[in-house]
Amino acid sequence: MCGYLQQILESKGDCEKKLETLGKDIGMKFLEIYEIRRSNKIVDILESITYTFLPKIYTSNRYVEKSKDFENVFLIIEDTPFFGKYISAPKRCEGFCADSITGGIISVVLTSFGYKNTVTACLSPSKNILTKVVYVIKINTEDLQREKRYS
């Protein structure tokens, strides 16, 4: 897998998009193996992803938050991301986030629950934690309105 990842980094094009696609493939395989608690509420689903599903893949200190500014945006904040430790990017890829793989995993789980989404992995180093990654999860507003109707 490391060789494949290095090949992606050396190729031209959007490396993060390719890593996200790889993450979606990995997420599909894990969905076949592990059960995730069914729910009709996006907050419950995100908590299951954060505290139950992702720890089965790798352990890390992470938590989920709802955006204060946008109703359809949620954040999963991870202090010790897994993939960024093992993948180094060429200098031409400034701002590159290897943890787009995890973003793909999150996206495929949400899609399996019927939520159209966009997940973006962003490096967000702070004074205390240099490796922090924030997964910005944007849910389709129609899906959130559907959730409100049936709640």
**In terms of Cα–Cα distance, which of 118, 115, 125 is closest to 48?**
115
Residue 103 near residue 20 (C-beta atoms within 8 A)? yes
pLDDT at 92: 64
DSSP character string of 89-142:
--TTSTT--TTHHHHHHHHHHHHHTT--EEEEEEE---SS-TT-EEEEEEE-HH
Torsions phi, psi of 144, nearest 5?
-70, -35
Task: Say what angle helices 15-33 and 2-10 make with each other, to 10 degrees.
Answer: 150
Tokens representing 43? Answer: 């907050």
Domains in the chain, start-ordered, CATH in brackets? 2-150 (3.30.1380.20)
- Taking alpha carbons only, the member of 71, 68, 49 closest to residue 60 is 49
One digit per residue, pLDDT tens: the chain, 151 residues? 656 666 666 665 577 888 899 999 999 999 999 988 888 899 999 999 999 999 999 999 999 999 999 999 999 999 888 887 777 666 666 677 888 999 999 999 999 999 999 999 998 877 676 678 999 999 999 999 988 888 7
pTM: 0.87
Provide the pLDDT for residue 54: 95
What are the tokens at 135? 């997964």
